[in-house]
Chain A
Amino acid sequence: MNTLEKKATNTAKIIQTESLVVRFSGDSGDGMQLTGMQFTDTAAMLGNDLSTFPDYPSEVRAPIGTIAGVSGFQVHIGSREIFTPGDQYDVLVAMNAAALKVDLPRLKKGGIIIANLAGFDGKNLRLAAYPENVNPLDDGSLDNFIVYSIDVTRHTKDALSGTGLGMKDIERSKNMFVLGLLFFIFDKPLNHTIKFIEEKFAKKPEIATANIRALNAGWNFGDNTEIFTTRFSISAAKLPTGEYRNITGNHATAIGLIAAAEKSGLPLFIGSYPITPATDILQELSKYKSNGIKSFQAEDEIASICSAIGAAYTGDLAVTTTSGPGMSLKTEALGLATMLELPLVVVNVQRGGPSTGLPTKTEQSDLLQAMFGRHGEAPLPVLAASSPSDCFNTVYEACRIAVEHMTPVIFLSDGYIANGSEPWRFPQQDELSSIHAHFINTVNGDNGNLLPYKRDEKLVRPWIKPGTKGLEHRIGGLEKQNETGNVSYDAGNHETMVKLRAEKIQKIAEYIPLVKPDSGNATGNLAVLAWGSTYGSIKTAVRELINEGYDIAHIHLHHINPFPMNLGELLHGYDKILIPEMNSGQLLQLIRAKYLLPAIGFSKVQGQPFTTAEMKEKIIEELKK
């Protein structure tokens, strides 16, 4: 059978749908992330717009079958533009009872449940803490949903009988059976996944064969049994013309750094220590040795930023990546980098805090830390990415600012966009703006004197690489004499230097784009002002409300320090400013303090992103006041 031209014999009717949300949910060991990604890749290849949200526990393998061990992957696919992984899902794949228990609350009324029967045996029901003798699959509690209870384990076993594989490997293939079934229900071909399996298991052909058989068996099961009376088809989205790929935020961050290094002509050094959810960036960059990238897994968070400072001093584009707890450890060194006025990019993929907090859940609670979390007055540029693919643009911009303005820069991402993915119309290298490093090779002062802290019109000092003949000089954390950089305890000089360092950062505003509304007009009844990963749900909510006739706008900040020069003026054009954040109101404080505006905060601190529905509800509520 040629799997590439699989055609259903089934007579189930196919419904054209604009968008659908599918949630894959199972035990950490059930392979739900992989299954979800394969489903996503196929949808992407077929031209659907989409957004994904992996939602997994921090335990690598929590006890099998428990609530704590549930790992979810949510994907929203559409024939229209998609900006979020979706508030609620249309289809829930529940590999066991715990998965159903955890994820049922956000399944739409009338939604589809595909349940793996073996995951609902006595033991699994007990582990999921259902009451004695209660099985949700047959007690009528799911009457408002369409439930397909399928013995996935048995069907997979049947499909793989004769392959000689042990039970363990057969068990491992059951996610492919489910994926095949979903491809049937969503009228999608198997070829992309088959190719993926063949490549992934190139060295274990028997495993590849088994997985492909399971995948086909899933599809055939849907086709042969007549239990599926409805199938769904989502045609390609009308996206701008071009070449696309799917990308997660962490991956986009990694290649944004590579691109910035290449375009600036600087070698890339990354000094990092593994920490969830930032580790992927170090892992990804470690693959690119053949591009000369020096990835350095340091002994701790402090060493990681310090090694990066050493590399920056020596003339590399230096980066350190981390998340909240690591960020706290790096702050003393950030002060040093500020004093030294060296370029450095610090990536903070935020997670729920404080302390170990919610390592795998998302939050935007490190903004004020990024702004002020250093001793002394040590202002730094702060940038934040708004979506998975935007991580590329924003980290690239962070590198540009660091190098061209000789300063450490904090780039904020978060767990939601770091792990989430979306299609990305990737740029060609020639479309990327250039980044100019300013090294000097000769003395820059009168009488043959070197002035390491002599500033140009941007108030930027020169970058001097050790190894440059005749420019030997010392820098350090002690306060510097203006221009010479020598140690100075002079009272007036200190104030001058504090002001100069602050002014230098403020001046960056002259070299960044002005802000304009992402949706809506430059005046109106209400503007939703936001930053970071809330972008998708706000954009969706504001667009829908504008279509309903509301006079509102969405302004999204990528540059948070300094703010774009016209931000104050723009905000004054609206009657109300609403600032939704996944924290208790941090941008809110900054905006109120800087522009003396009575902005209204909208907080959600649950380790989960805003839904479009709650965003719309809040906007309407504020407009009614």
Chain B
Amino acid sequence: MTTSIIEIEEPSKLSSKDFASNQEVKWCPGCGDYSILKQVQSVFPDLGVPKENIVFISGIGCSSRFTYYMDTYGMHSIHGRAAAIASGVKAANPDLSVWVISGDGDSFSIGGNHFIHSMRKNFNLNYLVFNNQIYSLTKGQYSPTSEKGKVTKTSPYGSIEEPFNPSELALGAKASFVARTLDRDPKHMQAVLKRANEHKGTSFVEVYQNCPVFNDATFFAFSDKETKKEEAILLEQGKPLIFGNDNEKGIKFEGLTPVIVNLNESSISTNDLWIHDEKDKTKANILARFFDTTFNGEHFPRPFGVFYTEDRLTYDEGMTEQIKEVTARKGKMPLNKILSGDKTWHIA
């Protein structure tokens, strides 16, 4: 038997370590960003995208340092503009897997305009917002997602502004994929990241992220054992909306108003419940309002998972197809023809 040493071009499957750059990670101890970085690095080997085709574009803020820690292509840009830069990257090369990394200040305050247009334009990219409801890199001022009345260094008597509800905002801006996940639920986050990657179009993922220094424990109710079953509801396609410590509560519609029902009552069956349908925008809009809206005075649990998905033409596809279509119809105009234009005259 002869043996030969063959150098195989195709590397063995990448591991999460292959996605870690050689830069020291410098977030505060206990920051939720560590978990997000870990989940992203864990999921990426399974995405089937060659490492060189992955590009991270981030803005400014704690979240946006993320780019430096991924051993992929990346640009740490300027405040609020990551989405705009990413649109140029995607237009230039639609084959790249582009991941926008941003925070609540970056996307909903200074970059608000780019955020809404990014949703509308629907480039095929992934847009992660690490929402910690505070400005952290500048050391603790209220953000556009901070709850009203928030006491911070710039609001010592409480903020007087209503916060944005990011999923509602994204849906209003015509997002084709809206999801929410949580730093303290690694498995859930990994599943959502995979779904985001699979979706063709702009995949908006809001990640609730704890800032242990300036806004600690804001989202703990959604992950702590004692409270999470009452305060959070996990969305699963085709499954009824059920929550509660003993899974005894369900949500159903009375007309267009959601109501919480007790499944222990004999008159209620799971067949009567609201079945989650990611394709149903009306439902998605109502789900998104399980935030600060009470329905008939009732408080609703916060949904996690994929609220909404929609298949529609992406900007990059549209741009590529238009170029193809017009080229097929008109043909490439030779440069000499462009230089001369239609009307020329000769001077002897």
- Give the complex CA separation of A429 and B338 in angstroms: 10
Q: Within 8 Å CB of B91, what residues of A?
A: 269, 294, 296, 307, 310-311
- B92 contacts the other chain (Cβ, under 8 Å)? yes
Q: How many residues does chain A have at the interface if contact means C-beta atoms less than 8 Å apart?
A: 72
Q: Are B348 and A309 in contact (CB under 8 A)?
A: no
Nearest A residue to B64 via CB reads A476
Q: List 7 A-B contacts (CB under 8 A).
A: A242-B346, A302-B113, A332-B78, A466-B93, A467-B96, A474-B74, A477-B78
A-B contact count (CB 8 A): 209
Q: Within 8 Å CB of A313, what residues of B?
A: 75, 85, 88-89, 92
Q: Within 8 Å CB of B81, what residues of A?
A: 302-303, 306, 333
Chain A 274-308 interface 0/1 with B at a Cβ cutoff of 8 Å (1 = within): 00000000000000111110101011101100111
Q: Are B75 and A267 in contact (CB under 8 A)?
A: no
Q: Within 8 Å CB of A93, what residues of B?
A: none
By Cβ-Cβ distance, the 5 closest A-B pairs, closest first, are: A310-B88, A476-B76, A306-B84, A314-B92, A307-B88
- Give the complex CA separation of A597 and B303 in angstroms: 71
Q: What's the interface size class on B, roughly?
A: 35 or more
Q: Other than A41-B343, A269-B92, A474-B76, give 14 A-B pairs with Cβ distance below 8 A.
A: A242-B346, A242-B347, A245-B344, A288-B333, A290-B330, A290-B333, A296-B87, A296-B88, A303-B114, A318-B88, A466-B52, A474-B56, A474-B67, A474-B70
Given A244-B345, A292-B323, A299-B113, A310–B84 Cβ distance below 8 Å?
yes
Q: Are A271 and B339 in contact (CB under 8 A)?
A: no
Residues 254 to 268 of chain A near chain B (Cβ within 8 Å) = 255, 258-259, 262, 267
Q: Are B340 and A245 in contact (CB under 8 A)?
A: yes
- A246 contacts the other chain (Cβ, under 8 Å)? yes
- A426 contacts the other chain (Cβ, under 8 Å)? yes
Chain B 315-348 interface 0/1 with A at a Cβ cutoff of 8 Å (1 = within): 0000100110011011111111011110111111
Given A314-B93, A472-B51, A258–B335 Cβ distance below 8 Å?
yes
Q: Are B89 and A427 in contact (CB under 8 A)?
A: no
Q: Within 8 Å CB of B72, what residues of A?
A: 472
- A475 contacts the other chain (Cβ, under 8 Å)? yes
Q: Are B73 and A303 in contact (CB under 8 A)?
A: no
Q: Within 8 Å CB of B348, what residues of A?
A: 241
Q: Are B335 and A262 in contact (CB under 8 A)?
A: yes
Q: Are B330 and A299 in contact (CB under 8 A)?
A: no
- Give the complex CA separation of A311 and B90 in angstroms: 8
Nearest B residue to A336 via CB reads B78
Contact pick for A311, options B75, B76, B92, B336, CB 8 Å: B92
Chain A 478-508 interface 0/1 with B at a Cβ cutoff of 8 Å (1 = within): 1000000011000000000000000000000
Q: Are B92 and A310 in contact (CB under 8 A)?
A: yes
- A468 contacts the other chain (Cβ, under 8 Å)? yes
Nearest A residue to B67 via CB reads A474
Q: Are B88 and A429 in contact (CB under 8 A)?
A: no
- B50 contacts the other chain (Cβ, under 8 Å)? yes
- A354 contacts the other chain (Cβ, under 8 Å)? no
Closest beta carbon of chain A to B318's beta carbon, Å: 11
